[in-house]
Amino acid sequence: MAGLVLFIAFLYASVGFGGGSGYLAVMSFFDIAAPIAASTALVLNIAVSGVAFINYTRHGHLRTQLLWPFVIGSIPAAFLGGILPLGQLAYQVLLNSVLLYMGLLLLFVNNKKSEERPVKPPSWPLAFIAGIVLGMLSGMLGIGGGIFLSPLILVAGWGMPKQAAASAAGFILLNSISGLAGRASGGTLIFGSFGGVLVVLGILGGLAGSLLGVRYLSGRAIRRLLGIVLLTAVARFLWAYFG
């Protein structure tokens, strides 16, 4: 599991993601209990997205109008989502529905046309509403929500790929902190004994991946590879439940 976490942190950070959905997929393979998996994924998100946000910002890719409107709507929603308890079945169904959506999006959405269009940031009300929806999902599932935000920015023509990556990293960082606080206040924060080692590996993978993404990668091939990983996790759940 440790090697997979390092690998996922590297891949996700290269496109500005924290890797929460990937860590959840890995922990589902190893049958880690839902509360432990969600809490551990949030801590890993904070570590990896923090490193990615610093690197993308240092290289001049952050556009504040693509971050703060979403954050203002999402942080209180992520806090509430972190408080809400989910049963094991409800957690698995919601998680795998999200993983299925993200996997299909990463594999089949063509960002090339989006990159060729003139970019125009969204209005504040629209970004605020989107932030509320993303924040609630983030807190409930233990993911930062940036994996939704980045494709949305690209498909809607709100920003360029590396601007979207910087926004996603900041969004994930802040929402993961809020979601973690919500779990702590609601008594649902349970951090596994293996978490410390995973966080160190996540930081190392995030540092290497974000530097690679900032300097060399377009991210298209990596997005498709991540889509395959997520769909594989969904297939495993369906096999276990219906097989």
pLDDT at 114: 47
Give the whole-angstrom CA distance, residue 116 versus residue 145: 25
The pLDDT of residue 112:
57
> 67 is written with which tokens?
């971050």
Looking at residues 154-159, what average pLDDT do you find?
80
What count of other Cβ atoms lies within 10 Å of the Cβ of residue 60? Answer: 11
Asked if 20 and 176 count as a contact pair (C-beta separation under 8 A), the reply is yes
pLDDT of residue 30: 83
Segment 133-144, tens digit of pLDDT:
888 887 777 666
Q: Could you tell me the pTM of the whole model? A: 0.77
How would residue 170 be classed by pLDDT, with cut points 50, 70 and 90?
very high
The confidence band for 180, taking pLDDT boundaries of 50, 70 and 90, is confident
Q: What is the pLDDT of residue 158?
A: 87
Q: How far apart are CA 1 and CA 6, in angstroms?
A: 9
Q: For the chain, what is the mean pLDDT?
A: 82
